[in-house]
Chains A and B, each alone.
Chain A
């Protein structure tokens, strides 16, 4: 079989954390190949490898090989990728806002004319041929069947139009052999999405190999010839799309064999009678993770899971409560009104938050383990301080004592409490974060993506520590995670967020298909039909 694109045995690690394991994928000319998976499954990384993005090569490259028309190629920059005829419609727009539609469509592929200077100084001094560029840009736009003014400046266009300009740019590439579309319909309305799918079919009809990435499973099913499902950086299934149904795909995307974790019993089971925090109509303005209208009651002593697809707002909830992003709505802590948008208020009321962005928010990477554990407690509560001369300074001895205790308790593997956190492994970094949270004596602990970027062995340890904090110390935990399996392994209830709203609250024992559909926001739909 002759494939336009083959990626063989692709593996990739970021900071010692493997995100792709021996991935194989092949696309023939004229084929629309759907690529689906939860966020963090490795789709975007795979596409970044294909496109030679700098982020791959600045983090040590990848293993495996890429073949185009059965020939091995080495793609080390976007420029190379383009030379091989690979086009990409990116998840975040790759358009220059101050340029016109024409200039963007023709970016770095401008049509030029000779002039006096160019004959002396070479090609780069050739004049741009604007009328010709404009004509071709217009042609590309009309291929999609859109009416976008080709001289309009991109910055002022509606989002959907920007998306179509991206696609027009790819269509305009005469040498286009492979087109990658990364979540192209995410910002489109239904009719617009329909038009886009038509364009995809049109391009496939012209012999372009197409890789289509989307969370909208019904669309993938509708337009693709073949579907590959990624989970945890590995291919779990790849079959013609006719042999799948939406719920099958959903199941394979999230499903895992559940280890039968036996959770220790509680003295008193949490109940709806005893609500520790009540959230009503929460809105959080977190770019990329907007929460539009979220309400839930958190029961004292439970472990509540929050799941959902990336971009739907599950991460926004904890960030909003902790005051990291602007939020509005009514929140009550133990029946009393709770002030939003004030991180220090949250801390003072023992609402503690561990960020999903461990390296960016959760840690002081160049500081010692002990300081990472103690700094927040010093700032928020004035713990570990002493009088010295006429000033109140922090007390190194007390900090050390506490840090040693925490290191022992959480089994943090470090050379000494003074070791710089950057040098610890992901798992031990997360334990440092947990130690920091524990030091703050939380009533409710919001913890987001606690196992992201941690190897398998350490994942279990971190989860065990969370369960331990919950059972032994009675700390209510709200855990946000994109790994459904881990939510299901330790949570009492799991809230699924879709489109910034609460889509369903499910028991951890609910079926894979139910979870998959709740995430896609299609749960009700199925229930109606079935």
Chain B
């Protein structure tokens, strides 16, 4: 009992509230006609689908610049990678891996530039990141109209100029991970490949933070002056963290797109940031500390919440309340993280 109380003290209050709310929803679901197995498989799928994007928050939080509110910057790199792969007409696993490869290359480049910029605005990374994200998305919206992509699947059917808002991936790499080693138990579907990929990404990041470079990032985030006195170059550590975050964002959006079956351009990258930030915070991270467990727990809770809330709540209330709920939960969570005083354990 004591240990349980001890554990309760360690868990964040909002995490607990959301968790309890989730359980309440499941109880509610049992009384409605919603099929729980299909809800569960839906939720599992969404965890894998969003997980890598949430993972992208880890490096910047750990290096001390807060959650990466400039996530769209990296996402753009991922989109470009996917577009190039489509333009080359590659399908299946080839298409997917080529997209990932290009995404990583492009994100490395973008990440270096973005990291250079953030270095110049130390202390304002979250704010500048947010607006850099917005600006880049608006700028790329122009680019989507102008870039010389020629594949007829990608450009507007009529008029023929500029890329479409959403590109169907059916002929390319839609569900490629989801269907890899997929199995079914009754109504419950398990997207093995997707989860393997997510687990692999988590493991790699986890491992990275045990290398000297990764440790340097940690040291800078926890105590910059300690890091300096340990011979670490904090500017370099921050740059590496930002680049890594960008690469993860780029890879993350491709994983997301293959699971969703569509590539979304124009404004869509903007809507990825806040849920990702909120997820890791719900998982118990703060704007200064985060680990892989926070990513997994947070994504699981947040995505399950969203999946289950839609069918269950729509039977109780009218209309789609989930969108509103998502706004309130995710922003409320971020607000909480920004305003809470750091725990000074003594």
Contacts and interface: CB of A to CB of B under 8 A. Distances in A.
The answer to A–B direct touch (Cβ < 8 A) is yes
A375 B212 contact: no
Interface stretch (A224-232, A278-286, A388-396): A388-396
Interface in A346-363: 346-348, 353, 355, 357, 360-363
Nearest to B343: A366
B229 interface: yes
Interface string A322-348: 111000000000000000000110111
Contacts of B223: 360-361, 363-365
Given A379-B230, A393-B210, A422-B346, 20 more contacts: A15-B346, A323-B228, A343-B231, A344-B231, A344-B232, A360-B223, A361-B223, A363-B226, A365-B223, A375-B219, A375-B230, A378-B212, A378-B215, A379-B219, A380-B231, A391-B208, A393-B207, A394-B211, A394-B215, A420-B345
Interface residues of B, number: 22
B21 to A, nearest CB: 30
Nearest to B228: A343
A372 to B, nearest CB: 9
Interface in B209-266: 210-212, 215-216, 219, 222-223, 225-233
Given A366-B289, A379-B219, A422 B207 contact: no
A464 interface: no
16 contacts: A15-B346, A344-B231, A346-B231, A361-B229, A363-B226, A364-B219, A364-B223, A375-B215, A375-B230, A379-B216, A379-B231, A388-B210, A391-B208, A393-B210, A394-B211, A423-B346
B225 A361 contact: yes
Contacts of A380: 230-231
A353 B226 contact: no
Contact of A379 (B208, B215, B222, B345): B215
Interface centre among A324, A343, A365, A389 (most CB of B within 10 A): A343
Contact of B212 (A360, A382, A388): A382
SS of A interface (majority): mixed
A324 B230 contact: no
B293 to A, nearest CB: 16
B222 A324 contact: no
A441 to B, nearest CB: 14
Interface of B: 207-208, 210-212, 215-216, 219, 222-223, 225-233, 289, 345-346
Across the A-B interface, give the 9 residue pairs with the lowest CB-CB distance, nearest first. A344-B231, A393-B210, A376-B230, A361-B225, A380-B231, A379-B230, A347-B231, A364-B222, A343-B231
Given A380-B231, A423-B346, A394 B225 contact: no
Contacts of B232: 344, 379
A355 B207 contact: no
Nearest to B208: A391
A55 to B, nearest CB: 15
B96 to A, nearest CB: 22
Contacts of A322: 229
B225 A391 contact: no
B231 to A, nearest CB: 3
Given A347-B230, A380-B230, A420-B345, A388 B225 contact: no
Nearest to B224: A361
A365 B232 CA distance: 18
A28 interface: no
A146 interface: no
A367 interface: yes
A385 interface: yes
Contacts of A15: 346
Contacts of A364: 219, 222-223, 226
A323 B231 CA distance: 9
B211 A376 contact: no
Nearest to B344: A422
A324 B229 contact: yes
A423 B345 contact: yes
Nearest to B210: A393
Contact of A394 (B210, B227, B233, B345): B210
